Structure 1
């Protein structure tokens, strides 16, 4: 069996591996990337954030037709959704991303190895290649980043392989007339937005007392109210206990569940989507042969440099179970590489923003209203989109932004935005939080007019003026 030796090898070619591999190659290391998928990019590119945003863009443009009259446009209409063209557009975007990553890695002299891998020993990965003999890849250092996979519920019928995961839904083979989504987290809510705008009647079943349990409670409440007021075609049941999922016929599913008052219901739909979170994709990799033990949820335990208990093995990205976001994985991979090179010796807490591409869009970074219980000296301040010129121009009068700050130190502690452009507006606060900046610095920064970013500067100015 052939054996190749490298300074560094990565298990995986997604955001938790490739950025670190590229940094190490630039530093002169001999690097290999082992990837089993269609190309470099990982779950985010092929099954998650990129495909969903491609389809959500189409859904947004479709929805905009319903608002044309408000902007003085008459007669615009949609004749239908061209699913083959939509899938083709997705394929073209993904191919362009893969080509760019491949060219970058090739230019850096990184060796690409296609296949599935598991540990043969602490320094050796066995790569299983279709139609070829297995290959042994030995490395002085390893970045193990196998990503994550969809979680499921342990209830009757949940094992049926025809229940959609988010990856199944994003193949976009079908726009169902009715869809039941199990789970009201960010994945479930984004896909509810997508399919409802494509004309599907969506019903979300959530075990928790509110949608988006990880978000500020006010955000969750506003989203539910907005969907109801706008007749978005999304029904929501909270505090439910799902008893069973039954596949009655090809296009007919039934869910049996109990509501918060103890009443039992049978809910039928054309398709069922399981969106109850993600878990580290660490099974079957023989971590024991590397001297590694997994955590209770299958995660790989790491320190603040994403280094495992075996010092030459790092595990950035979803595999460590800390923050399952592509941009967090990218930074973790870079920090792991810098630590491997000896360039980073002091841990730096990551300030990680996130965006939920629902309608309305949601973005957040840092502390929210829940932090006020632990820090009663902090303050929450809110500013409505309706007070901003650009927001009125684009037609969003219901959006808002809120910040949390410490009036004594004047430090910004967090920002949440809900409305058009939210994802683009949270970056300024991320920078300020990363550098322990103040709300005053946001006021002193000139923001171009008229832009939605003025909502943030107006909020900061109001905060300081009212202090």
Structure 2
């Protein structure tokens, strides 16, 4: 079968690329190695983790916040089987939606492992070992990533686990030891901490969510500690072993003092690595970068082989589903001769703990390093009428603006619904708005987004109304 475009991988980057190609009139195929479409994000990433975060948040609030609302409950307990069943149902609805969209857009879907025979021919190896070949004028590699580990730790997927296994536990851990204080680990740690587990976080860096503005990490750590999570920052893990149902994790303190923790589960969340195995890249003369096994592409996401593109987690940049989506659209439109653009500075990052953390643009640390003169406006949620009403008092919105022009250079927030609120900052920065522009726009009252306006007022002329 001959196609205009063949997409290898059906995650957010792959399925969006396939759909956009089809919309543009290209005969399109998409290959997925698993039984369902959607890749890591829909099957064992973004979607199931958010389902469990929502469920665990309801449970936590029922036990810790409902009484203040005049709602009295007793004998609360977690039904893990039902919680996991709901998660599976949520995943099924989303993956089923991709199947529907493929049919609607007349995209041919293939189940199996896709690999290169040559630059225009893809071999599909099915689960039963049989193979099939299809050809395409253009190939888009969108195979995503998988959890990485530490070389001296053996993942047994039972007691020493990755994020994949953490999404399907049949019991609440008594003590979950979390290696890594990044986004994935903290989200899953939050799930089980809310459900009653003791959670200990060991992080090599001196702060959690280290790629984000330091003020966000400090605030998030303070809130999570208040919820019961404990942290060992600046500590280096040296080993993890299993004996029966007990895991022992050894690590060194910043002063090289030897320490150990014992728990019933250890979640290794030290990042992800591009999934480029089994693609047969050598057949077309492509190699991967030593660090992270990523594929090198040009500014149009084309590899060194003409007509072969790569997007998402397998190339440079943040491993984010929405980044992959944007790149999928970009490549599809590039193939047909359009001139799309992506501003990587304006791709937001989000941590779906509670409170949520979200950011876009430059951090204070980055601006200082570049020698950019800037001003800061900040507004705490405890001064927000809407936040007081909902009981979500932790966190703040921080706006960084150019000292001379007042153009917004970065927005960093931690608080209720920050994941949704960050979109206002993205729109503002896409159109190069000043802090004063936002401060003069009407924001509905009472809403959480008023905090964005107040932070901009603070940045513009140090004149917030409500603090």
TM-score normalised by the chain length of structure 1 = 0.95
Greater mean deviation of Cα atoms: 203-212 or 372-381 = 372-381
**Partner-residue secondary structure (3-state), 2:13:** coil
Across the aligned residues of Structure 1 and Structure 2, the Cα RMSD in angstroms comes to 1.6
Q: Quick check: 1:47 aligned with 2:41? A: no
Q: Distance in 1 between matches of 2:54 and 2:7?
A: 33
Q: 2:108 aligns with which of 105, 108, 111?
A: 111
Of 312, 319, 331, the residue aligned with 1:317 is 312
- Mapped partners of 1:365, 1:224: distance in 2: 20
1:36 aligned residue (28, 33, 36)? 33
Offset, 1:88? 1.5
Cα distance between partner residues in 2 of 1:399 and 1:44: 27
CA distance in 2, matches of 1:264, 1:132: 49
- Note the residue ranges of structure 1 that are not aligned, 5 or more in a row: none
1:58-101 CA distances to partner (integer Å, 9 max, x unpaired)? Answer: 1111111211232233x223531112211221121111112221
**Counterpart Cα distance in 2 of 1:377 and 1:256:** 44
Rounded Cα–Cα distance in structure 2 between residues aligned with 1:266 and 1:368: 34
Task: Please list, as runs of the form range in 1=range in 2, the aligned pairs for 1:129-278 lying within 5 A after superposition.
Answer: 129-131=126-128, 133-155=130-152, 157-162=153-158, 163-228=160-225, 230=226, 232-249=227-244, 251-278=245-272
**2:30–2:109 Cα contact (<8 Å) kept:** yes
Partners of 2:316 and 2:149 lie apart in 1 by 16
Retained in 2: the 8 A contact 1:122–1:291?
A: no
CA distance in 1, matches of 2:456, 2:215: 19
Write the distance in 1 (CA, Å) between the matches of 2:168 and 2:341: 43
1:242-298 alpha-carbon deviations (Å, 9 max, x no partner): 22211111x111112221122212211001111000010012211011221211221
Higher mean displacement: 306-315 or 124-133: 124-133
SS in 2 for 1:17: helix
Q: Pick from 400, 405, 409: which aligns with 2:401? A: 405
Distance 2:247 2:435 in 1: 52
- Determine the structure 1 residue equivalent to 2:4: 7
Residues 51 and 115 (structure 1), Cα distance of their counterparts in 2 relative to 1, 3 Å cut: same
Structure 2 residues without counterparts, runs of 5 or longer? none
Q: Distance between the aligned counterparts of 2:236 and 2:340, measured in 1?
A: 48
Aligned equivalents of 2:154, 2:259: Cα separation in 1 = 17
**Partner in structure 1 of residue 426 of structure 2:** 430
- CA 1:72 to 1:262, structure 2 compared with 1: closer, same or farther past 3 Å? same
> Residue 95 of structure 2: SS of its match in structure 1?
helix
Q: What is the Cα deviation at residue 447 of structure 1?
A: 1.4
Aligned 8 A contact 1:304 1:347 in 2:
no
- Rounded to whole Å, the distance in 1 between the matches of 2:61 and 2:425 is 29
SS at match of 2:319: coil
State the 1:454 CA deviation: 0.8
Which whole-Å CA distance do the structure 1 matches of 2:345 and 2:204 have between them?
A: 30
In structure 2, the residue matched to 1:421 is 417
Residue 449 of structure 1 aligns to a residue whose secondary structure is coil
Q: Aligned equivalents of 1:376 and 1:437: distance in 2?
A: 18
Deviation for aligned residue 1:173? 2.1
Partner residue of 2:276? Answer: 282
Aligned match for 1:365, one of 360, 378, 402: 360
* Aligned match of 1:71: 69
Q: Specify the SS of the correspondent of 2:4.
A: strand
Which whole-Å CA distance do the structure 2 matches of 1:193 and 1:130 have between them? 36
Aligned to 2:334: 339
Structure-1 separation of matches of 2:31 and 2:60:
41
Q: CA deviation at 1:159?
A: 4.7
Q: CA deviation at 1:132?
A: 6.2
Quote how far apart the aligned CAs of 1:461 are: 2.2
Q: Distance in 2 between matches of 1:110 and 1:132?
A: 24
Match of 1:296 in 2: 290
TM-score by length of 2: 0.95
Distance 1:348 1:265 in 2: 44
* SS of corresponding position for 1:29: coil
Please name the residue that 2:348 is paired with. Answer: 353
- Alpha-carbon contact 1:181-1:273 (below 8 Å) kept: yes
**Could you list the per-position Cα deviations for residues 353-404 of structure 1 after superposition, in whole angstroms to 9, with x for gaps in the alignment?**
1110123211111112113312341112211112221111111222211011
Secondary structure of the structure 2 residue equivalent to 1:393: helix
Distance in 2, Cα, partners of 1:59 & 1:292: 44
Separation of aligned partners in 2, 1:401 and 1:76: 34
- Report the CA distance between 1:445 and its aligned residue: 2.3
Following superposition, the deviation at residue 171 of structure 1 comes to: 1.2
Structure 1 residue 441 and structure 2 residue 449: aligned? Answer: no
Number of the residue aligned with 2:322: 327
Secondary structure of the structure 2 residue equivalent to 1:267: strand
1:301/1:320 contact within 8 Å kept:
yes
